[in-house]
Amino acid sequence: MDVVDRKIIAALRVNGRATYADLGRLVGLSASSVHERVGKLESGGVITGYHALVNPSAVGLGVTALVGIQPTDTATDEDVAESLGELDEVESCYAVAGDDAFVVKVRVSTVDDLERTLGRLRRISGVARTHTTVVLSTRFEGRANNAGLEDESTGGA
């Protein structure tokens, strides 16, 4: 991966709908050359997908919580993670260091739904305890972090 690939990745992280022509103008290549490079980045597993960012409140998911999961002494992380993945309300699951083995991001419609979800989390085999932080507001989320993707010779773009 070279400086041009890094610029393409940074641009796609900001706007995944950018055309190959737009990207080409940005990096000084033809659209077909950019298309080829993006294809190689995709097939090489560097770019793993594209998605739409959705406002959770607009789709009825107005309550967000971060839940720390403490496993039992006999639990395996793989089994607990698999069970967490079966809950539609769990948007993200992070294996973490510390007292918790996992922190999950949960999105639900109401506080009552959150209470039901927490009960389901606590009933997962291998979960000893949970502790929950309810998100009051989101200042930013899912932003493109281009650290390590900038052109080092120019100090950025």
Please name each of the domains of the chain with its CATH number.
Answer: 3-43 (1.10.10.10), 56-135 (3.30.70.920)
Which DSSP helix (H) or strand (E) runs through 135? strand 127-135
Q: What is the pLDDT of residue 154?
A: 46
- Coil, strand, or helix at residue 59? helix
Residue 31 confidence (pLDDT) above 50 = yes
Give mean pLDDT, residues 118-135. 97
Average pLDDT, rounded, for the chain: 91
This prediction's pTM = 0.79
The fraction of the chain above a pLDDT of 90, given in percent, is 82
Cα distance between residue 134 and residue 92, in whole Å: 15
Of 43, 87, 51, give the one whose Cα is nearest residue 69.
87
